[in-house]
Amino acid sequence: MKKIVAFAILGMLSLSLFQACSSSQSLQEYYVDNSENPNFLSLDVPVSILNLDEVELSDSQKEALSSLRKLNLLAFKKTENNQLEYQAEIEKVNTILKNNEYKELMKLKSEYGKGVVKYLGEDDSIDEVVLYGNSKEKGFALVRVLGEDMNPAHLAQLIQVLQKADYNSDALGEIGDFLKS
């Protein structure tokens, strides 16, 4: 009987230790946790929405596009009524993005707000690019660009491809309106 009790205690301690070690939230978990929150606008965008079939692309742009799988968009729309939640969410996102797994590619600063571009993966094989922008007046947006073995040299090509995209802004719904304003 003592062995069973000792085994049960050891099992509970192991489980508690495992939970303590994995208590940091991933960006994917953050997206899932907030997808139903009324303060957030959430959208998964397939590459097909970009309507690039008829656009003339260079070979390097085609290669960059072929590494792209989808985009996840999550935006917090700031209002007078959610100031405290906005601050709490900013802290959560900053904590997640401070994780050493995310490598900083560049910082952005404009009249609209601040931002950062980070990535997951190796320098020559990126699996995820994260764009994070924050405006004190409007809120913040997170964009996860998911792909397979994206080449950092192709990031500029991807930006050019996205600029050529004739996406249907109606398909983006509220996020399209949020990003325009």
pLDDT in tens, the chain (181 residues): 544 544 444 444 444 444 434 457 899 999 999 999 999 999 888 877 766 666 777 887 777 777 878 889 999 999 999 999 999 999 999 999 999 899 998 898 888 889 998 988 887 788 888 999 999 899 999 999 888 778 777 766 666 666 666 555 554 555 545 544 4
Judge whether 19 lies within some domain: no
Range of the domain at 157: 24-180
* Cα 83 to Cα 44, 88, 140, 157, distances in angstroms: 26, 9, 12, 37
Q: Is residue 68 part of a domain?
A: yes
Q: DSSP alpha helices (H): ranges in 35-136?
A: 59-66, 83-97
Total structural domains in the chain? 1
Residue 15 lies in a domain: no
| Cα angle for residues 48, 50, 52 (degrees, 5° grid) | 85
Distances (CA, A) of 95 to 22, 69, 86, 111: 14, 26, 14, 24
Instruction: Please check whether residue 149 lies inside any domain of the structure.
Output: yes
Q: Which are the contacts of 27, defined by CB distance < 8 A and separation ≥ 6? A: 96, 97, 130, 142, 144
Tell me if 178 sits within 8 A of 77, measured CB to CB: yes
CA distance 34 to 67: 27
Q: Own/partner pairs for 100-103, CB < 8 Å, 24+ apart?
A: 102/130
Residue 10, domain member (yes or no): no
The pLDDT assigned to 16 comes to: 41
User: Is residue 45 domain-resident?
Assistant: yes
* Pair 148, 45: CB distance under 8 Å: no
Does any domain span residue 5? Answer: no
Helix or strand or coil: residue 79? Answer: coil
Residue 29's pLDDT is what?
Answer: 95
* Listed residue (101, 97, 105, 99) closest to 152, CA to CA: 105
* Closest alpha carbon to 134 in 113, 161, 150: 113
In a domain, 17, yes or no: no
